[in-house]
Amino acid sequence: MTAVLLARLQFALAVGFHFFFPPLTFGLTLAILVLETINLRRGQQVAGRASAFLVRILGLVFVLGTATGITLEFSFGTNWSQYARFVGDVFGAPLAAEGVFAFFLESVFLGVLVFGRKRVSRRMYWWASFLVFFGAHLSGLWIIIANSWMQTPAGFTIEGGRAVLVDFWAAALNPSTLIRYVHTLAAGWVTGCLFVAGVAAHYLLKGRDQQEAALLLRVALPVFIAVSFAQVLLGHQHSVQVARTQPEKLAAFEALWEGQTQAPLALFGVPLTREQRTLFYVGIPGLLSWLVHGDADARIAGLADFPADERPPVLLPFLSYHVMIALGFLFVGLSIAGLILMARRRVHQTRWFLRFLVFAVPLPHLANQFGWIAAEVGRQPWVVYRVLRTEDAASVVVARGQIAFTLLIFAVLYALLFAVFVRVLLALIRKGPSGVVPASSAAGSVGEVADGDH
């Protein structure tokens, strides 16, 4: 195994583990903002208790997300020094902006959420929840800008063997930034809201914390349903963007070996790269051409249209892409069931549906991971698309054995961190909203007490 491949595995492990937390943060901050809005407008203690419960979980998620994110930035200087040297002037700007404009904003006001409920007015507490929500989503935007620039680079020139930024807005709003951000944001809302709905369903099944569970489900389930439907359209638009800006990636997603008109949409198969064929292939003729161009007779480029040394791997992007889509349609099916039950006012009484919500909590994380794998592996052999090859981006002085050793250390450390995270998370869920904030102590703030509106 080469040093470059080991460095890629180490970065994949680090970013994969880190990516468990940001999508959850998106959805949790949204749910907390909605609950605090209810608490502010109606003075409902149950909304305050439900929010306080989620704030504890958000604090845990934020700590792990921060700790695992820092290692990613260090890795650019250790295993990917050639990359940092070549694109540092461009790539460093959004990372710095993320820290200055978003991370500190989110950190400071998360402190208010965790420690300030009894120390600030209710209105100030609502603003804190909004700024944490805003900071988390702004942080995601800067990270997506950085990553999207690697997918569809723009606004730069090459001078002295380095990429130099010449147009900030062209770089920031490169052809894939907006659709990738909205697609990722929607995935985060699906992830966080299904987590909240699953936890609420668990309490309803157990017959405890009924008021808080009912409110949590009433807040989270409609968002999950709406965004699951929207994600189908967003995912489609993202795929159309990939077809236009990274056509060989789409060809890998679809295992399209030869360019053709009436290109089929692959539903299932096992691509064999060496033989350039797909076992057990099932596809719908013409549908891929129609989805991309609105014309079933339009031509879609195949892998053979590109030089052999510029083609991405096929098996992993193909499988990851299709598993992600399958999970997306599973969420649509769950949403349809939820809509029917909501219309009949039977959500709380339908135990099979509540059990499925609990079972489904990890599934959006799998969809996120597979989507990320498809995007990143499908970009190969480039680290910056058609600008810098991955093999040219790695550090030249870090030995293979050193990378392998640190990869092992990372794996052990992340396994321990994940075990601690799950244990603390389950302990918080066992306590529940009433255990985090007893009803007798109310969920108010200085302002709420002063207003006398318990």
Residues 84-121: tens digit of each pLDDT = 889 888 888 888 888 888 888 888 999 999 998 888 99
Say what the pLDDT of residue 450 is: 37
Using CA of residue 24, residue 414, residue 432, residue 356, what is the dihedral sign?
positive
Compute the average pLDDT of residues 237-264.
Answer: 95
- pLDDT of residue 437 exceeding 70, the answer is no
- From the number of C-beta atoms within 10 Å of its C-beta (0-12, 13-18, 19+), residue 24 rates as buried
Among residues 86, 91, 88, the alpha carbon closest in space to that of 160 is found at 86
Compute the average pLDDT of residues 239-264.
Answer: 95
Say what the pLDDT of residue 438 is: 53
Compute the average pLDDT of residues 290-299.
Answer: 94
User: 285-308: buried (b, 16+ CB within 10 Å) or exposed (e) per residue?
Assistant: ebbbbbbbbeeeeeebbbbeeeee
- pLDDT of residue 443 exceeding 50, the answer is no
- pLDDT of residue 44 exceeding 90, the answer is no
Please report, rounded to a whole number, the percentage of residues in the chain having pLDDT higher than 70: 96
| Residue 162 Rama label (left phi>0; alpha psi -120 to 50; beta) | beta
Token pair 């900071």 in the structure block, residue: 135
Please report, rounded to a whole number, the percentage of residues in the chain having pLDDT higher than 90: 76
Say what the pLDDT of residue 439 is: 52
Tokens (6 digits) for 260: 């053709």
pTM for this entry: 0.91
Angle at 429 between CA 443 and CA 449, to 5 degrees: 5
Q: What digits encode the pLDDT tens for the residues 152-168? A: 999 999 998 899 999 99
Say what the pLDDT of residue 77 is: 80
Confidence of residue 446 (pLDDT cuts 50, 70, 90): very low
- pLDDT of residue 145 exceeding 80, the answer is yes
- pLDDT of residue 425 exceeding 80, the answer is yes
Say what the pLDDT of residue 435 is: 79
Q: What digits encode the pLDDT tens for the residues 342-390? A: 999 999 999 999 999 999 999 999 999 999 999 999 999 999 999 999 9
User: 190-221: buried (b, 16+ CB within 10 Å) or exposed (e) per residue?
Assistant: bbbbbbbbbbbbbbbeeeebebbbbbbbbbbb
- pLDDT of residue 332 exceeding 70, the answer is yes
Compute the average pLDDT of residues 257-273.
Answer: 94
- pLDDT of residue 137 exceeding 80, the answer is yes
Question: What are the backbone angles phi and psi of residue 368, rounded to the nearest 5°?
Answer: -60, -45
Q: What digits encode the pLDDT tens for the residues 197-221? A: 999 999 999 999 999 999 999 999 9
- pLDDT of residue 46 exceeding 60, the answer is yes
Tokens (6 digits) for 302: 């195949």
Instruction: Give me the chain's average pLDDT, please.
Output: 91
Q: Please, are residues 57 and 431 in contact by the beta-carbon 8 Å criterion?
A: no
Q: What digits encode the pLDDT tens for the residues 165-189? A: 999 999 999 999 999 999 999 999 9
Compute the average pLDDT of residues 27-52.
Answer: 91
